[in-house]
Amino acid sequence: MASDDGALRLPLYCPLVVNGEEGKAASGRQFARENPANVREIATLAEEGTQEDARAAIDAARKAFDGNVSNWIYNYKLREQVLSRTARLMRDNADRLARVVSLEVGMPMRQAVPHIGAAADIFEFYAGLAGKLYGESFTLPSGSMINLVKEPVGVVGMITPWNFPLTQTARKVAPALAAGCTVVIKPASYTPAATYELVKLIQQTGIPNGVLNLVPGPGSIVGAEIIASKKVDKISFTGETGTGKRIGAQAGMEVKRVSLELGGKAPYVIFDDADVDAASRAAIFGMFRNAGQACGATTRLLVQEGIHARLMARVVALTRKLEVGHPSKPSTDMGPLISASQEKVVQEFIEYGQAQGFRLLTGGKKLSGEGFDHGYYVEPTIFDGVDNASRLGQEEIFGPVVAVTPFRDEAEAVELANAVDFGLVAGVWSADYPRALRVARKIRAGTVWIWDNYAQPVEGIWGGYKQSGMGRELGYHGLNDFLEVKQIFTDGTGLAMKAPYGQVIKE
């Protein structure tokens, strides 16, 4: 079964990593991840973790945290070193990491390479914050003092998705380690090797045993145990809104801290006065990057009537030039979908759009023939005249299928943009900046881009309004999600009988 994919020897492998040791699953079983660009090939074999394995990893993380292993909680210099060395190792191994991501996700190398850089940037950024967890201090008129100190939230269970495996994992792991937490990761089953490659690098940085643990396996077994365990203080989840709702409900029963990064249905609002070429390019980048398999993908183009014909002509012309092909080919713009089931979902949405009578401007077909027959390739697809209330306007497709809906005026644009359950990201394009800003303020989403699309600087934030999630990743906000604030009150009066005690004690 072993074969070569450029510099990679296949199949890749993902073991458990528990207490600094790589190991096999208690089940004695492994699961296989196929190559989505060529399903005849096994990309990865991963250990199929069990409840018992999850418990062992949680115990290791708990012990490391409660025992303050190597003074992990207070030694910010060690944490800084782990994070900055990780960033450096990622850059040194960028080519291999990009190939692994490209292989497992089907992401074109042209996108996988910058993906590694973005993940390394996240580790670098949080390395800089590890030693800056300043608290606050306040002296009362009595001389007593309030100290507010920041402490790590404890053991964090991380459940991650497959679509951008390294940045998604970095957004959780880097701030959690900067804060002094210990971690158990349950990676998505489509991308175990990509996650393991990162964990393997972090293990080389001097991180104490038990601080970072990895358990591949089914969400319903490994993920469920991490969520249920009383030894886990916080869950950090990224995935579908449906899964997130169940996880949030379960975590709520234990009053466990939880952050949820969930699905989206991003609108991109283009007004009549927009620069047609610049807006078209921005839209296409958001629509078809990673074959539209992105929570922040541009899934709804809301286009003002006066620019509609010109804009769509440009968007369609640029879309038809996109090269769909093998992810490892340097010229490929769009690769395959992640799986057979995702391809089925996408095709069902295309059939639905056609049955509804929406105008198919381009695409709509599964690609076949040489180079396509053994992968999940679907054309970039655009439907025009879509009713925003239809399934194409409302549901997350997670593929290269875009719904275009014309609008008359600013009020209608805002109404359409907000008329979904999601609120992750949005875009606005208008030459009239006060109008663009007004609309950006009115759209209920965690990020609104003006004159751009898809920028996710680590210094900013990422997270959703409404059913797109709870909490924020990246930036200072992303660090705060892994910290508790404790008040330490110190008496400054020195009195044995303080005034309030008189409420209980008479003399």
235 sits near ligand NAD (criterion: CB under 6 A): no
Number of H helices, E strands in the chain: 15, 25
Whether 295 is catalytic: yes
- Strand-pair partners of 488: 147
The single residue among 56, 224, 392, 402 that binds ligand NAD, judged by CB under 6 A, is 224
295 sits near ligand NAD (criterion: CB under 6 A): yes
3-class secondary-structure state, position 253: helix
CB atoms inside a 10 Å sphere around CB 460:
14
Q: Is the dihedral of CA 416, 418, 423, 424 positive or negative?
A: positive
- Ramachandran area for residue 469 (φ above 0: left; ψ -120 to 50: alpha; else beta): left
The single residue among 135, 219, 371, 460 that binds ligand NAD, judged by CB under 6 A, is 219
Q: Which stretch binds ligand NAD (CB under 6 A): 51-59, 107-115, 140-148, 235-243?
A: 235-243
- Cβ 425 to ligand NAD, closest distance in Å? 9
59 sits near ligand NAD (criterion: CB under 6 A): no
Residue with tokens 């660090």: 479
- Cβ 188 to ligand NAD, closest distance in Å? 4
Nearer to ligand NAD, 76 or 162 (CB): 162
Residue 207 and residue 353: Cα distance in Å, rounded? 51
CB distance 238 to 296 below 8 Å: no
The single residue among 34, 53, 104, 261 that binds ligand NAD, judged by CB under 6 A, is 261
Which one is catalytic: 47, 104, 124, 295?
295
Q: How far is CA 374 from CA 38, 102, 336, 365, 447, in A?
A: 5, 16, 10, 15, 37
| Token pair in block for residue 374 | 């053994």
Burial of 108-134, coded b for 16+ CB within 10 Å and e otherwise, reads: bbbbbbebbbbbbbbbbbbbebbeebe
- Cβ 149 to ligand NAD, closest distance in Å? 30
CB distance 191 to 101 below 8 Å: yes
Q: Which stretch binds ligand NAD (CB under 6 A): 88-96, 261-269, 306-314, 367-375?
A: 261-269
262 sits near ligand NAD (criterion: CB under 6 A): yes
What contacts 24+ positions apart, CB below 8 Å, involve 462-465?
462/171, 462/261, 463/259, 463/261, 463/424, 464/261, 464/262, 464/264, 464/422, 464/423, 464/424, 465/423, 465/424
Whether 396 is catalytic: no
Nearer to ligand NAD, 15 or 406 (CB): 15
- Cβ 471 to ligand NAD, closest distance in Å? 10
3-class secondary-structure state, position 33: strand
Binders in 441-480 for ligand NAD, by CB under 6 A: 462, 464, 468-469
> What interhelical angle do 76-92 and 109-129 show, nearest 10?
160
- Ramachandran area for residue 448 (φ above 0: left; ψ -120 to 50: alpha; else beta): beta
- The contact mask relative to ligand NAD for 148-187 (x = CB under 6 A, - = no) is -----------xxxxx----x-----------------x-
- Cβ 32 to ligand NAD, closest distance in Å? 15
- Cβ 220 to ligand NAD, closest distance in Å? 5
The single residue among 192, 223, 364, 427 that binds ligand NAD, judged by CB under 6 A, is 223
- The contact mask relative to ligand NAD for 185-204 (x = CB under 6 A, - = no) is -x-xx---------------
259 sits near ligand NAD (criterion: CB under 6 A): no
Residue 60 and residue 175: Cα distance in Å, rounded? 20
Which one is catalytic: 261, 343, 379, 396?
261
236 sits near ligand NAD (criterion: CB under 6 A): no
The single residue among 239, 267, 399, 478 that binds ligand NAD, judged by CB under 6 A, is 239
CB distance 286 to 268 below 8 Å: yes
- Cβ 348 to ligand NAD, closest distance in Å? 16
| Token pair in block for residue 360 | 């198919």
Binders in 390-429 for ligand NAD, by CB under 6 A: 396, 398, 424
Burial of 466 (0-12, 13-18, 19+ CB in 10 A): middle
Nearer to ligand NAD, 263 or 400 (CB): 263
240 sits near ligand NAD (criterion: CB under 6 A): yes
Number of residues that bind ligand NAD (CB under 6 A): 32
Residue 304 and residue 489: Cα distance in Å, rounded? 58
What amino acid positions are annotated as catalytic residues? 261, 295
Q: Which residues bind ligand NAD (CB under 6 A)?
A: 159-163, 168, 186, 188-189, 219-220, 223-224, 227, 238-240, 243, 246-247, 261-264, 295, 396, 398, 424, 462, 464, 468-469
